[in-house]
Chains A and B, each alone.
Chain A
Amino acid sequence: MTRQSQEELREIVGRLPTTRDEDWKYTDLSRARDITSRWLDAGAETVAADIDEEIERISGSIDATWFVIANGELRLPDAASGISAERLDDVPAAASALAELNSALLVDGLRVRIDGAPDKPVGLLFIDGAADAATSQARVEIEFAAGASGEVVEYHASQGAQDHYSNTIVAITVGDNANAAHLRIQSRDLRHVQTTHTTVNTGRDARFRSAGFDLGGGLVRNDLVIGISSPGAEISFDGLYLAGEGQHIDNHTRVDHRVGPATSRQEYRGILNGRCRCVWNGKAIVHTGADGTDADQANHNLLLSERAEIDAKPELEIYTDDVKCSHGTTVGQLDETSLFYLRTRGLDRQHAKQVLTHAFAAGLVSRVPVESARNIVSELVEARLRDIIHSDEDFS
């Protein structure tokens, strides 16, 4: 099933980033290397778990035209107007060891094109579940045609609890005057390791709104790289990460403002409880000549346990004068005055803490860019918050 020899594959695995790389300082991919090596040792065969019921359940929760990528294998939906799809044959030259691994082990790639205004969102369900430790790849290219108005929902899930490493590449292009809404829900098993690399390139007067919700996963690294090469782009993205005992969630974002005018705005929020670690690294680069750039980035973290750790780093690089850039990062605990206020209204301490924690996430949930998925996101966030709040005795 693989295009390259075991030695070549092991050589690529050996070149995956390590904590010696500046961009990977806080995120150790040893577990990904280990899972992949074990999988290669076992003959690189993936025995799929019984996955169909979970696919039904998830795809039934959001009304969308669902493309399912199960353990790296693609299942195409029935035709839907405004949505055309094909398997990917040509994969561009890899720019990193992770991309090389993706190219080398990719089973099915997918290209989706959105024209006009489809009735339903495009759903991409990435689901992994195997009998033994396994590695899977996914690669999806999404094109919003010029003037199109559409929605994409990515749902990253697991079937069962098993060591699994998934490496996903998503490339999105938003054509001139197109209006794109993008939602990423990550609800992986706590033994799952994932790396995702998403690129977004926008055309003239294009609009891209996105939100990512990291609600699970043992070790998660998401890279979101946005390039603005035509004027008039309006970009806005949010991220919420909820981490409980033992989790590690790393979000790296990068926005390249190559021309102006254009706006980009990002807001990431994290709620951490128990022994866990999260990383937010937001980079905005305003290149020479990108006059009229307006870039704003914010990252706020709520640490509910003394054992939770956050590394938050905004990075602004500005090479032109006519710009408006701002950033803000906060790390804090629940506000004692608010807690007392709620308790004087009869809510017990635990309930008051829950209310304030939910409130911290509520703003991002209310802005989920794909409206038909807002309720399910809200439910998933509530459920995950309950789990991480109750998983740790610090929260009492």
Chain B
Amino acid sequence: MLEIKNLKSRIGDSEILRGLSLSVNAGEVHAIMGPNGSGKSTLAQVVAGHEDYEVTGGSVTFKGQDLLELEPEERARNGIFLGFQYPVEIPGVNNAYLLKAALNAKRKHHGLDEIDAFEFLKLAKEKMATLGMDPKFLNRGVNEGFSGGEKKRNEILQMAMLEPELAILDETDSGLDIDALKAVAQGVNSLRGPERAIILVTHYQRLLDYIEPDFVHVLSQGQIIKSGDKTLAHELEEKGYDWVREAATG
């Protein structure tokens, strides 16, 4: 589904990704772990299409199509979803409006009619219930005055509504208490399926207790230096990132 080959990217003068390769197939859950500054968030932003990151080498294809040629909105409509580490507050745009606009942009792309208002509301309330969100959030400004946990739940709500084929969740676990973490994990798990892939970008192993990955990769200095199954996450938790780095260089 997603093929990243020897990807190099920089922002301004600093090179962040230095030849990263990753292959993700439908039905798989990948966790990308690594210390701060290793390039985890950059990878997520580049795949989503952030213009500040310049791709200087390598390739990214999604469902066989060159992803780097597409605008962020085209990537989204093609089935890529980025859950932000720091979701943006947009006062004056209500949540319902954004959810509906996002859903309709995707439907239009696939040649479908706009969603009926009643159907939309029913769907949104259903998804909110499973995430433990008050339906009142629909009428609030996007993330406006939301707590950290509420913002992350809201990201998962958007994901649940859009049903992407590839979801990249950037540090979705950071700043969450245990209840919020469980709710978010449940939202992610309910989306798991043979037709979908999920990439979890995380600093800590904690999230992986609730969302079990098929593969764990360790990112350091813009490259994947070790890959393994979920046991690798536990090893990292015990031994720290230096252990892999030493193993990789030594």
A residues contacting B by CB (< 8 A) are 335, 337-338, 340-349, 351-352, 355-356, 358-363
Determine if A341 and B73 form an interchain contact, defined as CB atoms under 8 angstroms apart. Answer: no
Q: Given the known inter-chain contacts A351-B101, A355-B101, please indicate yes or no for A344 contacting B93, CB distance below 8 A.
A: no
Determine if A343 and B90 form an interchain contact, defined as CB atoms under 8 angstroms apart. Answer: no
Determine if A338 and B90 form an interchain contact, defined as CB atoms under 8 angstroms apart. Answer: yes
Q: What distance in Å separates the Cβ of B62 from its nearest Cβ neighbour in chain A?
A: 14
Q: Given the known inter-chain contacts A346-B106, A359-B91, A359-B92, please indicate yes or no for A340 contacting B98, CB distance below 8 A.
A: no
Question: Could you write out 23 A-B pairs with CB less than 8 Å apart?
Answer: A335-B88, A340-B50, A341-B88, A341-B90, A343-B73, A344-B48, A344-B49, A344-B81, A345-B105, A345-B162, A346-B102, A346-B105, A346-B106, A347-B73, A349-B71, A352-B73, A355-B101, A356-B90, A356-B93, A359-B93, A360-B92, A362-B92, A363-B92
Determine if B101 and A345 form an interchain contact, defined as CB atoms under 8 angstroms apart. Answer: yes
> Does residue B221 face the partner (Cβ distance < 8 Å to A)?
no
In the complex, A359 Cα to B89 Cα: how many Å? 11
**19 additional contacts, CB 8 Å, given A348-B71, A363-B91?**
A341-B87, A341-B90, A343-B76, A344-B49, A344-B72, A344-B82, A344-B84, A345-B76, A345-B98, A345-B101, A345-B158, A346-B105, A347-B73, A352-B73, A356-B90, A359-B90, A359-B91, A362-B92, A362-B93
Q: Tell me the nearest residue of chain B to A362, going by C-beta.
A: B92
Q: What distance in Å separates the Cβ of A255 from its nearest Cβ neighbour in chain B?
A: 26
In the complex, A361 Cα to B92 Cα: how many Å? 8
Q: What distance in Å separates the Cβ of B74 from its nearest Cβ neighbour in chain A?
A: 9
* Chain A residues positioned under 8 Å from B102 (CB to CB): 345-347
* Chain B residues positioned under 8 Å from A343 (CB to CB): 49, 71-73, 76
* Chain A residues positioned under 8 Å from B90 (CB to CB): 338, 341-342, 355-356, 359
* Chain B residues positioned under 8 Å from A359 (CB to CB): 90-93, 141
> Does residue B77 face the partner (Cβ distance < 8 Å to A)?
yes
Q: What distance in Å separates the Cβ of B9 from its nearest Cβ neighbour in chain A?
A: 16
* Chain A residues positioned under 8 Å from B105 (CB to CB): 345-348, 351
Q: Ordered nearest first, which 6 A-B pairs have the shortest CB separation? A: A359-B92, A346-B105, A362-B92, A345-B102, A346-B76, A343-B72
Determine if B84 and A341 form an interchain contact, defined as CB atoms under 8 angstroms apart. Answer: yes
Query: Of B49, B73, B97, B141, which one neighbours A348 at CB under 8 angstroms?
Result: B73
Q: Tell me the nearest residue of chain A to B76, going by C-beta.
A: A346
> Does residue B109 face the partner (Cβ distance < 8 Å to A)?
yes
Q: What distance in Å separates the Cβ of A352 from its nearest Cβ neighbour in chain B?
A: 8
Q: What distance in Å separates the Cβ of A89 from its nearest Cβ neighbour in chain B?
A: 47
In the complex, A363 Cα to B162 Cα: how many Å? 28
In the complex, A347 Cα to B71 Cα: how many Å? 10
Determine if A344 and B71 form an interchain contact, defined as CB atoms under 8 angstroms apart. Answer: no
Determine if A355 and B93 form an interchain contact, defined as CB atoms under 8 angstroms apart. Answer: yes
In the complex, A349 Cα to B76 Cα: how many Å? 13
In the complex, A352 Cα to B88 Cα: how many Å? 13
In the complex, A344 Cα to B50 Cα: how many Å? 9
Determine if B71 and A342 form an interchain contact, defined as CB atoms under 8 angstroms apart. Answer: no
* Chain B residues positioned under 8 Å from A358 (CB to CB): 92-93
* Chain A residues positioned under 8 Å from B81 (CB to CB): 344
* Chain A residues positioned under 8 Å from B97 (CB to CB): 355
In the complex, A342 Cα to B109 Cα: how many Å? 16
Q: Given the known inter-chain contacts A345-B98, A355-B93, A356-B93, please indicate yes or no for A337 contacting B88, CB distance below 8 A.
A: yes
In the complex, A341 Cα to B50 Cα: how many Å? 9
In the complex, A347 Cα to B98 Cα: how many Å? 9
* Chain A residues positioned under 8 Å from B162 (CB to CB): 345-346
B residues 42-60 with Cβ under 8 Å of A? 48-51
* Chain A residues positioned under 8 Å from B50 (CB to CB): 340
Q: Tell me the nearest residue of chain A to B48, going by C-beta.
A: A344
| From A337, A338, A347, A358, residue with most partner B Cβ within 10 Å | A347
In the complex, A340 Cα to B76 Cα: how many Å? 11
In the complex, A154 Cα to B105 Cα: how many Å? 39
In the complex, A342 Cα to B76 Cα: how many Å? 10
B residues 156-178 with Cβ under 8 Å of A? 158, 162
In the complex, A360 Cα to B158 Cα: how many Å? 23
In the complex, A351 Cα to B109 Cα: how many Å? 15
* Chain B residues positioned under 8 Å from A351 (CB to CB): 101, 105
* Chain A residues positioned under 8 Å from B91 (CB to CB): 359, 362-363
Q: Given the known inter-chain contacts A340-B50, A340-B72, A341-B88, please indicate yes or no for A346 contacting B109, CB distance below 8 A.
A: yes
In the complex, A360 Cα to B76 Cα: how many Å? 25
Q: Given the known inter-chain contacts A347-B105, A359-B90, please indicate yes or no for A342 contacting B98, CB distance below 8 A.
A: yes
Q: Tell me the nearest residue of chain B to A338, going by C-beta.
A: B88
In the complex, A359 Cα to B97 Cα: how many Å? 11
Q: What distance in Å separates the Cβ of B42 from its nearest Cβ neighbour in chain A?
A: 14
1/0 contact trace for B137-163 toward A, CB 8 Å?
000010000000000000000100010
Determine if A346 and B93 form an interchain contact, defined as CB atoms under 8 angstroms apart. Answer: no
Determine if B88 and A347 form an interchain contact, defined as CB atoms under 8 angstroms apart. Answer: no
In the complex, A48 Cα to B109 Cα: how many Å? 52
